[in-house]
Amino acid sequence: MAHFTKDALSNSDTCDLFKGQWVQDTRDPLYTNYTCTTIPLIKNCFLHGRKDTDFLHWRWKPDGCELPRFGPETFLTTLEGRTMAFIGDSLARNQMESLLCLLSTVETPKPLQKDTEDRFTTWVFPKHNFTLMALWSQFLVASAERIINGSATGGFDLHLDRIDPHWSEKLPSIDYVVFSDAHWFFRQNYLYEGGNLVGCVYCQAPNVTDLGPGLAIRKAFRAAFRAINDCKNCRKIFSLLRTYSPSHFENGTWNTGGGCNRTRPIGRDEVDKGGPDWDYRKIQVEEIEIARNAGEKCGNSFEVLDVTEIMLMRADGHPGVHWGNRWMKGYSDCIHWCLPGPIDTWNELMFEMIKREIRLSSDREVGARL
């Protein structure tokens, strides 16, 4: 049973956390690129020459309530003895790295597993017996890179009805899952079901139907959520879907000179309410609703970490040219987020959702005994 301090119970459970605005905040971040030693070089924007700090001084203010500032000690106490995994692409890892920095302000984590590309990492906080994992799976389903004449094509074969075992085999040891995925689907990918080619994405191949990225995203998330609900030897798992996080390339794409040089958020009234960003978010939300209904039968919980609109306002928070990637000099990173930066808010929102779920579970247990 989790133990809450008074501040952890301060927020109303009826407030919509994801409708609001960014407001100026004079407080400093909970960590800096100097105090957190685990920030990867390519997310350490100040190390690579970023000078402005205005983007750090905004906080998310939901309409009608306050979002509590992240409390690292409260988080570790609440999740004592638990395991949390971020499953998906490099943005999943980006959020895990943010959480690692936030928690490091009260306890130094110990690395248990770390590969050379930081794709599968495990950290433990010994005092609280809390384990934090990043499990790389850029499509959530089984995939293999397409090789032609010995050279990688940049595209993949995706088996939409076969889950990626690199993360699914870890499920029995996990209590909390954050799914985070989408950007890798915008490649020249070939789609398979039952071992048969059923279509593609952007392939322009003869006699192969281009089904677009939306269908592949839908089926991949559906398979992932089904794996949670079908797991026979798993604990009750609380799953969060982080909705589509937009890129902010302006004046071109990533490889045609596009960049992201803004230094302030935009207002909610300035956000484009249409386009593919919203289409992908809608697909994800629809799929988690299906999973939520199925999960009620086996005790699993599914919720939406709805960051799409929130982050559409934050074109100022990306590394841009300040990411020091020696393999891609001259290109901007307008997909990932600086550390510290706006992505820290994802973990504030995530923790508030976890606290709400724990309170609801406690209420259900009390109701069942009455």
Q: Label residue 9 by pLDDT band (50, 70, 90).
A: very low
Cα 334 to Cα 322: distance, rounded to the nearest angstrom: 10
Could you tell me the CA-to-CA distances from 51 to 68, 174, 272, 319 in Å, in that order? 28, 40, 29, 12
Tell me the three state secondary structure of residue 146.
Answer: strand
Residue 2: CB atoms within 10 A of its CB come to 17
Mean pLDDT of 142-157: 88
Q: In what order do the strands lie in the sheet containing 83-88?
A: 110-114, 120-125, 130-136, 83-88, 176-180, 238-242, 301-305
Q: What is the pairing mode between strands 196-201 and 120-125?
A: unpaired
Residue 306: CB atoms within 10 A of its CB come to 21
Could you tell me the CA-to-CA distances from 369 to 132, 295, 364 in Å, in that order? 33, 22, 9
Whose structure tokens read 């960051």?
307
Which residues have a catalytic role annotated?
90, 333, 336
Cα 333 to Cα 258: distance, rounded to the nearest angstrom: 9
* pLDDT tens per residue, range 269-313: 999 988 899 999 999 999 999 999 999 988 999 999 999 999 999
* pLDDT tens per residue, range 111-143: 998 877 778 999 999 999 999 999 999 999 999
For residue 366 the two structure tokens come to 């009390």
**Planar angle of CA 64, 283, 134, nearest 5 degrees:** 80
Residue 239 half-sphere exposure, CB side, CA atoms within 13 Å? 31
Its pTM stands at 0.93
